[in-house]
Amino acid sequence: MKKNTKYLWIGFALFLVVFLVTYGSTFAKYTTDSVWNYYLKSKGFYFDSPLLDGNSYQDQNWDGGSTYFQLHNYLNDSLITDYDISYEVHCKVLGDASEISKCMIAGEDKDVYQGVLSGGVGKQISDLYFDVVPTGSEELTGVSVEIEVQSTSPYHKTLKNTFVLNKGEQELGALNLAYEEKDAYSYLTVTNSYLEDKCVKLSFPAEDLRIDTEDKRILHQEANEEGYVQAVTFQVSKKDSVRFRFYPTNGNVHLTKNAFTIQESKEC
Read out DSSP for 58-103?
EEEEE-SS-EEEEEESBSSSS-B--S-EEEEEEEEE-GGGGGTEEE
Residues 210, 230 contacting (CB under 8 angstroms) = no
What confidence score (pLDDT) does residue 42 get? Answer: 77
In a domain, 52, yes or no: no
User: In terms of domains, do 160 and 236 share one?
Assistant: no
In a domain, 47, yes or no: no
User: In terms of domains, do 145 and 90 share one?
Assistant: yes
What confidence score (pLDDT) does residue 201 get? Answer: 97
As a whole number of angstroms, the distance between CA 157 and CA 135 comes to 32
Residue closest to 99 by CA, chosen among 53, 136, 54, 73: 136
What confidence score (pLDDT) does residue 123 get? Answer: 92
Give the tens place of pLDDT for each residue, 3-48.
455 445 545 445 544 544 554 444 444 455 566 566 677 788 899 9
Instruction: State how many domains the chain has.
Output: 3
User: In terms of domains, do 209 and 235 share one?
Assistant: yes
What confidence score (pLDDT) does residue 243 get? Answer: 84
User: In terms of domains, do 133 and 229 share one?
Assistant: no
User: In terms of domains, do 232 and 260 share one?
Assistant: yes
What confidence score (pLDDT) does residue 99 get? Answer: 92
Residues 253, 202 contacting (CB under 8 angstroms) = no
What confidence score (pLDDT) does residue 37 get? Answer: 66
SS3 258: helix
As a whole number of angstroms, the distance between CA 228 and CA 259 comes to 16
As a whole number of angstroms, the distance between CA 262 and CA 240 comes to 16
Residues 50, 117 contacting (CB under 8 angstroms) = no
As a whole number of angstroms, the distance between CA 165 and CA 168 comes to 10
As averages over each run of 10 residues, the pLDDT of the chain (268 residues) reads 50 50 46 62 85 83 83 90 95 94 91 94 92 86 94 94 83 82 82 89 96 90 95 90 88 90 90
What confidence score (pLDDT) does residue 38 get? Answer: 61
pTM above 0.85, yes or no: no
Sequence length of the chain is 268
Residues whose CB is less than 8 angstroms from the CB of residue 162 and which lie 6 or more positions away in sequence, other chains included: 56, 57, 94, 144, 145, 146, 147
CATH of the domain at 143: 2.60.40
Task: Indicate the residue among 114, 136, 167 that finishes a domain.
Answer: 167
What confidence score (pLDDT) does residue 44 get? Answer: 82
Which domain range does residue 22 map to?
1-42
What confidence score (pLDDT) does residue 19 get? Answer: 46
